Amino acid sequence: KEMRRVCQVAKRASGRSRRVKYQCNRPSGSRSIGSWSIWKGWPGTRKTTEMTSTELLNKFFKVSPTRWAVRGVIVGGLAGLYYWFITSPQQGPIWDLYFEKLDQYKNWNGRVSQMWLPSEGSLGMEAKPYTLVIHDEVISQSSWSIYQGSIVKKRPGLAYLLSRLGRDFEIVLFSSQGGYHIPYLDRLDPDRRCAMKLTNEYMTSVRGRDIINLDYSNRPLSRVIVLDSDYRNVSHKENVILLDAYNGDDADDGLAKLGAFFRVIEETHPADIRKAVQIYQEFGLDKFQTPQDEERLRKHRERRQN
C-alpha cells in the first residue's frame, strides 16, 4: 500500500505516467541483513522478488562484453587526445589551423590593437631617450593567504632601479594577467615612476601564447629594452635582457647585477641600444662590470644577508 501511494503521488506530480524499472526497499519487519525486496513494473502492480545483496549488485553492475569494448574505445580515445594535445610537438597543418583560429579569437576578443604609448612629448609626458619594458614576473612574486590576503613581494633593488632609471628611461610595467591586475602593479610602483602599467589586453597572441609585441610600442626599436625571463614572451629577441623570474629570495641580487649594464648605457648613450643588448647576450656582465661595480655588489649582498 505504501509503494502504491508513493507511485500515485509521483504520477500526479509529474503529470504523466512514469515507469519505474527497479526500485529497492528493505522489507519491513525483516531481520535479514542481506535480503532486499525488489519491486518492478508499472505503478500499481504488486510484482516483488527477494534477492540477496550479492545478487542485487550483480544485477545492477553486470555489463556485457560489448559495453566494455565501447568503454575501452572511449577511454583509449581520450588518452590519445591527451597525448596529442599535451605531449606532441604541436606541428603540422592541423595544429597550424588550430593556432590560427585560436589567435584570431584571442586577438579579436577584448584585445587592444593600438599603440601602447602616446606620441613622444604628447599628453604632457617628458620625452626620454630610451624605453624600458619590464615583465612583472622578474621583479615581484605574488601569493595569497587566507589570513593575510594578497601578498606582494618585491625583488631586492627594485625601488633603487626605478628611481635611478627614471631619468633616462620611460618605464612600462607589463603583466600577463587581466585588467584586474592593475592594483597589483600599482603596489610595485608606489612613487609612480612608471609611465604606463599594462596587462594582457595589450599583448598579442602568437600560436596561443601571449607575447609583448614591440611593434605596438610606438617607439623606435633601437631605443627599447625588455626585461623578461623568456625570449618567447617578446616579439623581438634582440631587445631582450634575460633575467630569472623572482622566487622570493631575500638575498637575490639579480637587479643589483644589472646596475653595471645600465650605468654604461647612461654614460655612453648609444644610438642603437640593441648593440649593447647583443653584447650582454653573448658575454654577460663581464664586459660591463668595473671594480667599483663589484664592490657595490658585494656591499649589497652583505646588506641583504644581514
Give mean pLDDT, residues 145-170: 83
* Residue with the larger pLDDT of the pair 244 and 62: 244
Please tell me the number of Cα atoms within 13 Å of 109 on its side-chain side: 8
Confidence of residue 42 (pLDDT cuts 50, 70, 90): very low
Q: What is the pLDDT of residue 88?
A: 65
pTM value? 0.66
Q: What is the pLDDT of residue 38?
A: 44
pLDDT digits (tens, 9 = 90+) for 116-135: 888 876 666 677 889 999 99
pLDDT digits (tens, 9 = 90+) for 223-273: 999 999 888 889 889 999 998 888 888 888 888 888 888 888 888 888 999
CB atoms within 10 A of CB 163: 11
Confidence of residue 189 (pLDDT cuts 50, 70, 90): confident
Q: Which of 241, 233, 242, 238 is nearest to 274 (CA)?
A: 238
Fill in the amino acid letter for 58.
N
Confidence of residue 45 (pLDDT cuts 50, 70, 90): very low
Across the chain, mean pLDDT equals: 76
Grid cell in block for residue 208 = 596561443
* Residue with the larger pLDDT of the pair 95 and 50: 95
Q: What backbone phi and psi angles, to 5 degrees, belong to 105?
A: -70, -45
